[in-house]
């Protein structure tokens, strides 16, 4: 059973973020299991009309158990940044394949963004909240790709420095 909040929450509010966390965790039953709490308490934590708050310790437990990213995204935004998960790299990296995928994703993401504000889009020059949510997903993918490429470049530098130290 997936979590489906009943009440509308202000976008970006703490209760909205907790609701999204519960969705990413797998819904109320999974939250109840991980936190060892009842259904009413779990729903209270997402209810915008209830003062119940989720402790940082419990948030950490949910994130560790499920690898949810919404909390990191939220805090990065509050700090004026963006959360960019970076995939762990294998030692045997196919650089040509990565560059090819990067170029394709780049073109797709940028094309989607430009298409949404072009004169031929459904609402030329205007982006509504639903379109903005979709564009944010595309931008996040782009940022993630750039962060991944950055990590690959760092690994080249580190490998060269290790090689240099070994020869000295």
* CATH number of 38's domain: 1.10.260
Per the CB < 8 A criterion, the answer to whether 67 and 77 are in contact is: no
Domain-embedded: residue 142: yes
140 and 110 housed in the same domain? yes
Q: What does the block give as tokens for 43?
A: 């729903």
CB-CB neighbours of 161 under 10 Å: 10
**Does 47 map to a domain?**
yes
Q: Is the pLDDT of residue 60 over 80?
A: yes
Residue 83 lies in a domain: no
**Residue 51: φ, ψ to 5°:** -80, 0
Q: How confident is the model at residue 145 (pLDDT cuts 50, 70, 90)?
A: confident
Please tell me whether residues 122 and 163 are part of one structural domain: yes
Higher pLDDT among residues 99 and 83, named by residue: 83
- My answer on whether 71 and 100 are in the same domain is no
**7 within some domain:** no
Task: Kindly state whether residues 116 and 160 are assigned to the same domain.
Answer: yes
Residues 123, 162, single domain; the answer is yes
Domain span at 111: 95-167
Residues 69 and 105 in one domain: no
Indicate the range of 36-40, 81-85, 153-157 predicted with least confidence.
Answer: 81-85
- Say whether pLDDT at 107 is over 50: yes
Confidence band, pLDDT 50/70/90 cuts, at residue 1 = very low
Q: Model-level pTM?
A: 0.55
The reported pLDDT for the residue numbered 29 is 94
Regarding whether 160 and 135 lie in a shared domain, the answer is: yes
Are the C-beta atoms of residues 99 and 153 closer than 8 Å to each other?
no
Q: What's the pLDDT tens digit per position in 9-38?
A: 777 788 988 999 999 999 999 999 999 999
Structure tokens at 6: 């009943």
Evaluate whether residue 49 is within a structural domain: yes
């Amino acid at each position: 059973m997936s979590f489906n909040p009943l009440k509308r929450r202000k976008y970006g509010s703490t209760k909205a973020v907790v609701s999204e966390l519960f969705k990413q965790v797998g819904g109320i039953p999974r939250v109840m299991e991980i936190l060892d709490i009842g259904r009413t308490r779990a729903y209270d934590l997402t209810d915008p009309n209830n003062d119940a708050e989720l402790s940082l310790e419990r948030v950490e437990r949910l994130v560790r158990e499920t690898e949810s990213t919404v909390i990191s995204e939220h805090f990065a935004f509050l700090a004026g940044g963006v959360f960019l998960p970076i995939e762990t790299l294998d030692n045997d990296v196919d650089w040509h394949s990565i560059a090819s995928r990067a170029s394709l994703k780049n073109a797709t993401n940028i094309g989607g963004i430009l298409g949404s504000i072009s004169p031929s889009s459904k609402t030329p020059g205007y982006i509504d909240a639903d379109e903005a949510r979709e564009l944010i997903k595309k931008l996040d993918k782009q940022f993630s790709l750039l962060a991944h490429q950055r990590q690959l470049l760092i690994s080249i530098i580190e490998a060269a420095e290790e090689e240099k130290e070994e020869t000295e």
